[in-house]
A and B are shown apart, each in its own frame.
Chain A
Amino acid sequence: MSNFTLDRRSALKAGGTLLAAAATMSADQLLGYAKAWAQASPWKPEAGAKINLLRWKHFVDSEDAAFMKIVDAFQKATGVVMNVTNESYEDVQPKASVAANIGQGLDIVWGLYSLPFLFPTKVTDMTDVADYLGKKAGGWSKAGQAYGKLDGKWIGVPVAVTGALVNYRVAAMEKAGHKEFPKDLAGFADLVKGLNKNGTPAGMALGHASGDANSWLHWALWAHGGNMIDANNKVVVNSPETAKALEYVKGLYDNFIPGTASWNDSSNNKAFLAGQLHLTVNGISIYIKAKTENPQIAADMNHAHLPLGVDGKARELNLGFPILVFNFTKFPQACKAFTAFMLDPAQFNPWVEASQGYLSPFLLDFTKNPIWTADPKNTPFRDVGETSLTPAGVAQMSENAAALITDFVLVDMFANYCTGREDVKTAMASAERSTKRIFR
């Protein structure tokens, strides 16, 4: 690939082989590629287009740098002016909601979970972009489709997903009597108990932490066969299965490090990196930070999927990151072009690499990226885009399901029981009522 020239024709001819080179492109080459891409793209940005983009604030610095490189190349190649703002996890959604309600301020939002489903009437149909990307990069995973489609229409493009998987300290696990990470619920509970006994406790958030609390508690409910709503959106949370899940989580909680009921999304990262926490559920961000700041912890930690459910099936809730374009934007073509450009293999592969495993793909070709196998500790995060469910569980993702997760109904149910504020029956009844209030 040394004679790689960057006029439009060769760029198009080069096709797939070009991708391998993309990772090592210099800024000039990237710009050349971007120009060629823009000419061939089906979306022609409007003249003088200005886009306001809001995204979640990065947890991995190199990921953000790679993202800004994509933005920069897109701006230079198309003349579109882009204004990127960052907000923390919790603040992206309120800002997007306000923009959706007043119909101005933002053009593109890259947010969490089910953001486009909160206001499906305010977003641009992205079906053409999703189909284009699906053809180009090996098709969408099942979870990707569930996160993007409403009634057969793509209301957002699921950019990536962050795995909410178990982060654990290897030595502490072995000391607690487990040679390998347990794959079943009983083994997992035993491990958490053993860790506590040895003074190397586990801890998972039970506070209003959008990512950290929702992910593992949804798993706990699903693993025991419970559901908030069934496939027809009927409220079914008040069930013997839910009761079992509550008991199970209470058993874990009693062996947690104190204070998890007040944890937010950054609490477990801090405690794990300080060496006080020995098992938690989180993205790969702890590991990435440990590699540079605390190599000892990085060497002694590993990742694993949460245990299988009672029926032997894997069900996890990982953090999908959908991007949406508002339908009141004056520059829909520019927004679509940018969305397609950022997920284009030549952009996305280096970006995935820069994110060091934080961003897992929904587009199947990207699971072949060497980052997933170069370090075996990254491998569990490779397939979360395939195995993940949406917050709706067995039901279709919907506006109501999106409201349900943002109102922390499920998290509160578990926290109410674990902290002893309510008994099993009352906790389930309150959650049932809250769910019915939303699904009325």
Chain B
Amino acid sequence: MTTLQTSVPVRQASVDTPSLWSRLKVNRNFVALWFMLPAGAFLILFLAYPLGLGIWMSFTDERIGRAGIFVGLENYEWLWDDSIFWLSVFNTILYTVVASTIKFAIGLYLALLLNRNLPFKALIRSIVLIPFIVPTVLSAIAFWWIYDAQFSIISWSLMKLGLIEHNIDFLGETNMARGSVIFANIWRGVPFVAITLLAGLQTVSPSLYEAATLDGASNWQRFRYITYPLLTPIIAVVMTFSVLFTFTDFQLIWALTRGGPVNATHLMATLSYQRGIISGRLGEGAAIATAMIPFLLAAIGISWFGMQRRKWQQGSSND
């Protein structure tokens, strides 16, 4: 910030040194401070303070309706050998990794497809966005009917076709339930990835492709050596957001399974809500929520440092 300073104070031996206030008045840093204040206050009040409060709460035994006292790491100690907590950690990681990977693959494929000259391009692009536009809870309720143990449209159709004899138990069997909620999440998340990557694709200059074609590059080579490297910054941003959204997903699970069957789809977010708000143990709920922070930081770190600092992005070799 000091480099911005234009009025360098002049050392003078004389007594008429300008007063502090008159020097401040012309100091650009001082003015800048005031301009930044609203934004800073906003961030502190609505982001830093709740986060700090949540972390503090996780060290107390606060319950709904009564303040807690400091209990140190007690909440974490109980979580450490709580099999349901570790199950929720496993579920969350599984959910995030599988859903994000598939969302990325399908999203990239759709983006490449939509980047071509298709008839009704604008219309198709807006249709792709639909799952993202529908409120999560509404789509979750729709999926809840699709997955219903007795009235599922999928089971019904397959039974009428004579392909199966019993209803499919979508949400009642552990792995089936995991697969079902992951599918619903993918359905919802693909448009975000696809449209953002499409925006990135359109910034790639066509002249690069022309040059490559003249050099005899194949389709794959053009993708591998032009599209992909130029898209990496966007991929890093999209995947960071996608991972964060998936990791902290709540509505979909809560509307579909409430963490069941037998906690097989409990994510850290839903478990935190169940313990913190439903059972009234705010301290414990906060501890589970706080336990998500390291995972989230790691996810951000991987995509940020792993994908954005590659040398070949600046044109040198990939070593």
Could you list which residues of chain A lie within 8 angstroms of chain B, going by C-beta atoms? Answer: 90, 93-94, 97-98, 100-101, 118-119, 121-122, 206-208, 257-264, 267, 270-271, 274, 276-277, 399, 402-403, 406-408, 412, 415-416, 419, 421, 430, 433-434, 437-438, 440
Contact = CB atoms under 8 A, between A and B. Distances in A.
Contacts, number: 122
Contact of B278 (A206, A261, A406, A434): A406
Nearest to B261: A261
A433 B277 contact: no
Contacts of B278: 93-94, 97, 406-407
A430 B149 contact: no
Given A100-B65, A412-B262, A419-B262, A257 B150 contact: yes
Interface in B116-170: 148-151, 166-167, 169-170
B274 interface: yes
A432 to B, nearest CB: 12
B26 interface: no
A406 B259 CA distance: 13
* CB-CB nearest 3 A-B residue pairs: A259-B149, A119-B65, A262-B171
A258 B258 contact: no
A119 B280 contact: yes
B64 A118 contact: yes
Contacts of A121: 65-66
Interface residues of B, number: 38
Contacts of A274: 150-151
A170 B64 CA distance: 46
A412 B167 contact: no
Interface in B46-97: 63-66, 78, 81-84
Contact of A122 (B65, B82, B83): B65
Contacts of A277: 150
A203 to B, nearest CB: 9
B174 interface: yes
Given A122-B65, A408-B274, 4 more contacts: A100-B64, A263-B172, A406-B279, A433-B82
29 contacts: A94-B278, A97-B280, A98-B64, A101-B64, A119-B64, A119-B280, A206-B261, A207-B172, A207-B260, A257-B149, A258-B149, A259-B149, A259-B167, A260-B172, A261-B261, A261-B262, A262-B171, A262-B260, A263-B149, A264-B258, A267-B150, A274-B151, A403-B281, A406-B274, A406-B280, A407-B274, A412-B262, A412-B263, A419-B262
Q: Which of A206, A261, A408, A415 has the most CB of B within 10 A?
A: A261
Nearest to B147: A262
Interface of B: 63-66, 78, 81-84, 148-151, 166-167, 169-174, 177, 257-264, 274-275, 277-282
Contact of A262 (B65, B149, B166, B274): B149
Nearest to A264: B258
B64 A262 contact: no
Grouping DSSP codes into helix (H, G, I), strand (E, B) and loop, the B interface class, with mixed when no group exceeds half, is loop
B77 to A, nearest CB: 10
B172 A437 contact: no
B279 to A, nearest CB: 4
Nearest to B152: A259
Contacts of A263: 149, 172
A403 B280 contact: yes
Q: Which of B83, B151, B167, B280 has the most CB of A within 10 A?
A: B280
Contact of A208 (B82, B84, B260): B260
A438 B63 CA distance: 12
Nearest to B264: A421
A430 B84 contact: yes
